[in-house]
Homo-oligomer: A and B are copies of this chain.
């Protein structure tokens, strides 16, 4: 057996335990072997006798040793020798799947991996679309509310919670959604989730069977594609134009689809609004055919002319629309709270499924947010951000026009958190986006969001997450890279 390592940080009792355990597992001490007495071993190792007894007791509790009254301590007789062979190879610090033999996983895995959704964990860079102005978040107000909630900790605040979310938060949110987003719902229809991603995942799991068809906006959001595809849905790309998703085309291609995923207020990534005529046509089709509508209202709060546009959900009379929202854009992403408004008839089904996905949302975060909304900070923050983002958008438009006087054309947008820089149809916007990434510029290509062949090429440029000087700096890097590219062609 090994000698004790006195200079090691591992306690001696643990060293003794490890040494005996390993000797048994590797066959050095076969089943039935009698161990030296604890007294003898203590003397040999220079340990207190209690240390040895404790190690023996732990090994006995775990089944390695057994003591026979009046006779001493033995390696358990019942250990199956044939299985001890398996343990003989000394493992590395972390184990690896035996090489050459690929593990068999579910089909979902390839699908998930194909989307490459792992976000960059680094600090913000120009022009990450969808990243809010974290430098302008009212940290002080948030901190004050958090401190107050911490002072009020009660036993029930620490305990298990309602899988649907905290009542107080659902009530605050309901009144906001009703007033500001034209959503018509009772507060009990709201489920608090960790993100819009979880809302999409939940809908996919409750509403879809493998093989059922889903209309996807083309181009469209990768997160939705990931969640719906993972449920085994067959995604049918439906083209998007200036009036949003082409409903007639959808009915032509897949009239029997079970679901449609839409971003009606502000199409992701192109930015168009779903026209009123198409909204009505979509609702009529869904109601007639029994299809579900997933309305993802991810950044609709930021409209720079007039009020935000009313939701599609508010027009629905037959309980077909699921309204998905998130706090990642209007507050901050690491908060991890989003929500789903569920048609009343389906509340129980969604609640059971939600509970078996991950229980319920975290207690404190919900309490802080409920107060933040209830005290008016939420609406005030959105108003301030609307002003700030409008200014940043203008800075970016100006910078782009100056950088590219001969085109591409850049027009101000009236809503959302990014604009699209159109490129020629022949451009390799994916390669361009990668090149920009090497210079720490985040500008996803339009091509990335197409399921079929890209019909438009371009770059998505977010203007909210970084201050004006960074937008200008980003623009000059963009200009340099585009010019180098043109030179190479």
Chain B's closest residue to A79 (CB) is: B277
Q: Is the CB of A79 within 8 A of B276?
A: yes
- Interface code A203-221, partner B: CB below 8 Å = 1, 0 otherwise? 0011111100000000000
In the bound assembly, the distance between CA atoms of A307 and B123 in angstroms comes to 42
Residues in A315-345 with C-beta less than 8 Å from chain B: 315-319, 328, 332-336, 343-345
Q: Is the CB of A97 within 8 A of B319?
A: yes
Q: Is the CB of A334 within 8 A of B355?
A: no
Residues in A142-159 with C-beta less than 8 Å from chain B: 142-143, 146-147, 150-151, 153, 155-159
Among A14, A155, A156, find the residue whose CB has the most chain B CB atoms closer than 10 A: A155
**Interface with B: A189-197, A379-387, A398-406, A449-457, which one?**
A189-197
In the bound assembly, the distance between CA atoms of A78 and B223 in angstroms comes to 33
| Contacts A317-B91, A352-B117, A356-B226 given; does A134 touch B106 at CB 8 Å | no
Sample of 10 more A-B contacts, CB < 8 Å, known A57-B305, A227-B356 = A63-B279, A83-B277, A94-B184, A95-B319, A95-B343, A97-B318, A105-B346, A146-B150, A158-B333, A230-B353
- Interface code A259-303, partner B: CB below 8 Å = 1, 0 otherwise? 000000000000000011101110110010010000000000000
Q: Is A137 an interface residue (CB 8 A)?
A: yes
Q: Is A393 an interface residue (CB 8 A)?
A: no
Q: Is the CB of B96 within 8 A of A344?
A: yes
Q: Is the CB of B333 within 8 A of A184?
A: no
| Contacts A195-B358, A315-B87 given; does A131 touch B159 at CB 8 Å | yes
**Interface with B: A34-42, A361-369, A425-433, A474-482, which one?**
A361-369
Q: Is the CB of B336 within 8 A of A109?
A: no
In the bound assembly, the distance between CA atoms of A79 and B202 in angstroms comes to 34
Q: How many copies does the complex hold?
A: 2
Chain B's closest residue to A54 (CB) is: B306
Q: Is the CB of B150 within 8 A of A352?
A: no
Q: Is A61 an interface residue (CB 8 A)?
A: yes
When the two chains form the complex, which single residue of B119, B352, B364 contacts A113, counting CB atoms closer than 8 Å? Answer: B352
Q: Is A64 an interface residue (CB 8 A)?
A: yes
Q: Is the CB of B352 within 8 A of A334?
A: no
When the two chains form the complex, which single residue of B89, B108, B146, B159 contacts A317, counting CB atoms closer than 8 Å? Answer: B89
Could you list 24 A-B pairs, sorted by A, with CB under 8 Å? A61-B305, A63-B276, A63-B279, A64-B276, A78-B277, A86-B318, A87-B315, A95-B317, A104-B290, A106-B208, A106-B231, A112-B349, A112-B353, A115-B356, A116-B352, A117-B352, A119-B163, A119-B355, A121-B162, A158-B333, A197-B357, A197-B358, A205-B230, A336-B363
